Amino acid sequence: MALDLSRPIYMDYNATTPMDSRVLEAMMPYFTEKFGNAASRNHVYGWEAEEAVEKAREQVAKAIGADAKEIIFTSGATESDNIALKGAVEMYAEKGNHIVTMLTEHKAVLDTCRRLERDGKATVTYLAPKQDGLVDLEKLEAAITDKTIMVAIMMANNEIGVIQPMEQIGEICRKHNVLFFTDAVQAVGKVPVDVNAMKIDVLSISGHKVYGPKGIGALYVRRKNPRVKLAPVIDGGGHERGMRSGTLNVPGIVGLGKALELCIEEMPNEMKRLTYLRNKLKDGILSQLEEVYVNGSMESRLPGNLNMSFAYVEGEGLLMGLKGLAVSSGSACTSASLEPSHVLKALGVGDELAHSSIRYGLGRFTTEEEVDYAIQITVEAVNRLREMSPLYEMAKAGIDLKSVQWTHH
Amino acid sequence: MAYSAKVIDHYNNPRNVGSLDPKDDSVGTGLVGAPECGDVMKLQIKVNEETGVIEDAKFKTFGCGSAIASSSLATEMLKGKTIEEAAAIKNTAIVQELNLPPVKIHCSVLAEDAIKAAIEDFKKKQAAKRAKAQEALTNA
Ligand SMILES: Cc1ncc(COP(=O)(O)O)c(C=O)c1O
């Protein structure tokens, strides 16, 4: 089949995913004829909405090995992360005020922690990862004090795709009687997640990373051993066990449930398929270009994620050369700032290689032809830009770039 | 971010990519920026030692599309100018010509710095050459 190149090929599945048409189909009736408020107890409109919500709650719970009663719906993972952290800090203030997290977390966790610190509500330890992006379990254990109430470590990283050793982290948290919260946005539906085997107490989910809609998310809150309570961030009608007030987004919730059901059904095949495609992409590039470095562990990683640094070319400039591909860079492009990725910096990649990074995210609709095309244009663009790069020229001439007096500006 | 048509044109068809012999006395080399900051420009001029007119200019740049376009444009602007005229080139001229957005103004500043550094290097070499000639004369 010929590739449609009228629009860039989408390879940014870690940023968001297209909605699966089967998900849209499941949602449609809940916008129009089944429009009821799930909290209306007196008529069929409310009942059918409530029934749909409860079905979705089952579907979400099943995707992570939880009980439906332990799932609350939110507007997305940013909100879930906020409730997890702020809710725990408020609820467990008597026990302590210390949180342990990592420098490589998503901004939804990091910036929430920073605010809690600024407001004098919590003290936070930010652990640096090992060079492969994984947590150092000894450092984690050493960071826990008798004031620690929560460990917040994401299951899979959104930039480099590395998967943390969940069971070991859970074990350490249980041993020290602190809550284990994980932002599992990138992992749920992609790789197996089991809140009991992994001893997870609180977990965030987002709809739009699992081929569901944007603006819907969920939070798993353990109900026994231990029973976790979180103070609400949004007050109101007392929906969702009082932890998240607000009329339920029924179509969004139905979509999230359906999306996760599909992910779980297709997971065994999809993991194999994406691992094959991702490795083909990696090997295809590495075999044709020198001085390309994979960022993050290849052993413990999401099947569809690849993050590479191309020495001597700048990421944003490279993105421009990859205009046939929709990918992202750890260079300035990820945000309005000109700072390179905080994740790559935390790995100790070095600013120059952080500026040279590209994230490829493969997913459900990625084909082998698309991967072949991505390999070809990446190799072409990198070669072209290296010919234009003073750094490449200097390195080829045997100059140690570290020994050069650069003019910082 | 959307790039202007002119930036895209310079990115796709960069003018004067390459290198001149840095040891040649008529060549001035400017190397500015830093890899950690995400942009490095090398800009070289070849000056007619009699007339002071820039006869050739080359660049190599590590950076975003706007940095590549800024240095490519700079080489175009330099050719045919005397070094005095070249020294008067302002980054704002580059901003205007390429329609750079505010977040990319630093790319034009870097190009101006590169021009200045190349001229500086050329002048230094010329002074050294004169001093050497002088020395040869007095020793003779
Ligand atoms: C790891 C992680 N956490 C949280 C979020 C935020 O999720 P949402 O867009 O649903 O608020 C994202 C996605 O942007 C993410 O990748």
Residues in chain B with CB shorter than 8 Å from the CB of A387 are: 17
Distance CA A183, CA A67 (A): 18
pLDDT confidence tier of residue A331, bands split at 50, 70 and 90: low
Say if residue A332's pLDDT is above 60: no
In this complex, do A317 and B64 lie within 8 Å of one another by their Cβ atoms?
yes
| Catalytic site includes residue A333 | yes
Specify the pLDDT at position A337: 55
The pLDDT tens digits of the residues spanning A260-286 come to 999 999 999 999 999 999 999 999 999
A210 touches ligand 1 (CB under 6 Å): no
| C-alpha distances out from residue A348 to A77, A130, A192, A310, A344, Å | 27, 9, 29, 16, 7
Say what the ipTM of the complex is: 0.93
| Mean of all residue pLDDT scores within chain B | 94
Number of C-beta neighbours around residue A32 at 10 A: 8
Q: For the stretch B108-131, what's the b/e string if a residue is b when 16 or more beta carbons lie within 10 angstroms of its beta carbon?
A: bbbbbbbbbbbbebbeebbeeeee
**Phi, psi of B119, deg, nearest 5:** -65, -45
Q: Is the CB of A217 under 6 A from ligand 1?
A: yes
Q: What span, in angstroms and rounded, lies between the C-alpha atoms of B101 and B86? A: 24
Give the chain B residue nearest A381 (alpha carbons): B12
Q: Is residue B41 a contact partner of residue B33, using CB atoms and an 8 Å limit?
A: yes
The terminus-to-terminus CA distance of chain A in angstroms comes to: 49
Cross-chain residue pair A391–B62, CB shorter than 8 Å? yes
In B, which residues are within 8 Å of A404 by CB distance? Answer: 31
**How many whole angstroms from A189 Cα to the centroid of ligand 1?**
14
Residue B64 annotated among the catalytic residues of the structure: no
pLDDT of residue A335: 43
What residues of B are in contact with residue A383 (Cβ under 8 Å)? none
A290-293 long-range contacts (CB < 8 A, ≥24 apart) are: A292/A382, A293/A349, A293/A353
Instruction: Tell me which chain A residue has its CA closest to the CA of residue B68.
Output: A317
Provide the pLDDT confidence category of residue A333 given band limits of 50, 70 and 90.
very low
Determine contact: B39 vs chain A, CB below 8 A: yes
Write out A7-34 in H/E/C secondary structure. Answer: CCEECECCCCCCCCHHHHHHHHHHCCCC
- Bridge partners, A293 (sequence order): A309
pTM of the model: 0.92
Give the confidence band of A1 by pLDDT, cuts at 50, 70, 90.
low
Q: How many CB atoms lie within 10 A of CB A3?
A: 12
Q: Which pLDDT tens digit goes with each residue over A192-237?
A: 999 999 999 999 999 999 999 999 999 999 999 999 999 999 999 8
B31 with A390: Cβ contact below 8 A: yes
The pairing of beta strand A9-10 with beta strand A325-326? parallel
* CB-ligand 1 contact for A101 (6 Å cutoff): no
Q: Summarize the confidence of residues B109-130 as an average pLDDT.
A: 95
| Pairing label, strands A98-102, A357-361 | unpaired
Among partner residues B14, B34, B67, which is closest to A408 by beta-carbon distance?
A: B34
Beta bridge partners of A124: A99
CB atoms under 10 Å from CB of A31, counted, come to: 11
pLDDT above 80: residue A348: yes
Strand B54-62 relative to strand B39-47: parallel, antiparallel, unpaired? antiparallel
Q: A130-133 — which CB contacts under 8 Å span 24+ positions?
A: A131/A347, A131/A348, A132/A162, A132/A296, A132/A297, A132/A300, A132/A347, A133/A104, A133/A157, A133/A160, A133/A162, A133/A295, A133/A296, A133/A297, A133/A343, A133/A347
DSSP A342-395: HHHHHHT--HHHHTTEEEEE--TT--HHHHHHHHHHHHHHHHHHHHT-HHHHHH
Taking contacts as CB-CB distances below 8 angstroms, the residues of chain A near B118 are: none
How large is the average pLDDT for residues B43-53? 95
DSSP state of A6: S
| CA–CA distance, A15 with A290 (Å, rounded to integer) | 28
Q: Indicate yes or no: CB of B37 within 8 angstroms of CB of A409.
A: yes
Q: Which of B107, B110, B114, B115 is catalytic?
A: B107
